[in-house]
Homo-oligomer: A and B are copies of this chain.
Amino acid sequence: MAKNEKMVEQITSMDVDFAQWYTDVVKKAELADYSGVKGCMVIRPYGYAIWEAIQRDLDARFKALGHENVYMPMFIPESLLQKEKDHVEGFAPECAWVTVGGENQLAERLCVRPTSETLFCEHFRNVIQSYRDLPKLYNQWCNVVRWEKTTRPFLRTSEFLWQEGHTMHETEEEAREETRRMLDVYRDFYAESLAIPAYTGQKTEKEKFAGAVETYTIEPMMHNGVALQGGTSHFFGDGFARAFDITFTGRDNTVRYPFQTSWGVSTRMIGAIIMTHGDDNGLILPPAVAPIQVAIIPVAQHKEGVLEKAAELRDLLAKKFRVKLDDSDYSTGWKFSQYEMKGVPLRLEIGPRDIENNSCVLVSRVSREKKFVSLDGIAEAVEEALKSVHDELYNRALENQRARTYDAHSYEEFLDIAQNKSGFIRAMWCGETECEEKIKDATGGVKSRCIPEHEDHLSDVCVCCGKPAKHMLIWGRQY
């Protein structure tokens, strides 16, 4: 067992090398594996089970709001991609192109979808004729490709999995509401299911999606203070509709252009989970998306009655929770480390003495606190303990986010924070792209995250140029 126990020790400490720690966790928790294909990863069963839990949860939230799933082709003919000017400029540089099909050079090359606005628009044109056909509330779960130079599992890969919602509305107001509503869905999902607090708000002109009028974003902060763009929701106005000639007959019998939104989150969220909650013992999973919520570890399992009792507990708890009983012949200590590494939120230990006392031990993966609980009402105790794990995770992340969010009242203070602290910076801004670019260059990569939904008034002037401030911006380095 010595060899196995070493496995856990092999994780690099977060404080020593956060990037290496991340890579170690991805590998040792068996979330993903590298592949021979540049920039593409293999999502292993344990990692994919997290994605399945995320999909189930989000999909139910989307459907509760009336969204329907569809599937669009994965290829976009070059001429179709080019129909919206800003969009093609944004995406063409990172496209993968199919040029040969079935042994023949193609007359027109096909882009492997980096996002599917153009394909949805082509279809919307076929199925929208009257205001009675609106709204169209579509979503698809699929793979997309954006050619990346440097990649990291989950955080940035050339191929990734995501959902992309695409909706069409009769009025601008309705489309704007949808854009904000879906940002709220993401924020709620991050908080309620991933136990991740986050800033939400609007992207600047510079940072918005190619082709969008407005982009809204959710920006969780990772444990080390670096931002991860966690999801976006875009309002397109009627720009794509005009470019793709999508029209409908309105209630007043005039021909109109519909208003459009799109919104998406991806497997990147698994990276956010790792980097928000993990520690030096490995992964920590929020209970809502943990493939195993409770690991039952029998203690002194060779003793009479222990395995039987453990199996009985598993059968009881499996009715309500995702449970694994590990009755393998590894040592108890190895099992403890193993399920800690894999981030299982709750460990249930049961041994001969516990059975005598009609009790067991629950151990939180976060606080590592041990709690002796009676086997009567064990399901309720487990439920409560899982809720505690969720709350502990959320509060800890919120505390980290608060502690690492700094206010800059002057350019010098901004540069000082950017150089000496790792976290988010709140500062006033004039609204000009030049100031964003100046700050990015001066700090070696600090970029605006968003104009937060609730802006405070830190001063009257832009932290960069001193001109009158229009907004408060949140800034940070990003993955």
A interface list, Cβ under 8 A from B:
33, 35-37, 40-45, 48-49, 51-52, 68-77, 80, 92-103, 109-110, 112, 119, 122-123, 126-127, 138, 142-143, 145, 147-149, 158-159, 161
Contacts and interface: CB of A to CB of B under 8 A. Distances in A.
Contacts of A44: 70, 127
28 contacts: A33-B123, A33-B126, A35-B122, A36-B77, A36-B80, A37-B73, A37-B75, A37-B119, A40-B75, A42-B71, A44-B70, A45-B70, A45-B138, A48-B71, A49-B68, A49-B69, A93-B102, A93-B103, A95-B102, A96-B101, A97-B100, A97-B101, A98-B98, A99-B99, A99-B100, A100-B109, A102-B148, A112-B112
Nearest to A291: B68
State the majority secondary structure of interface residues on A: mixed
Contacts of A42: 70-73, 119, 123
Given A73-B41, A122-B36, A112 B93 contact: no
Report copies per complex: 2
Contacts of A80: 36
Contacts of A109: 100
Contacts of A119: 35, 37, 42
Contacts of A126: 33
Interface core residue of A43, A95, A97, A148 (most chain B CB under 10 Å):
A97
Given A68-B49, A102-B149, A35 B73 contact: yes
Contacts of A94: 102
A159 B74 contact: yes
A149 B102 CA distance: 9
Contact of A69 (B52, B75, B123): B52
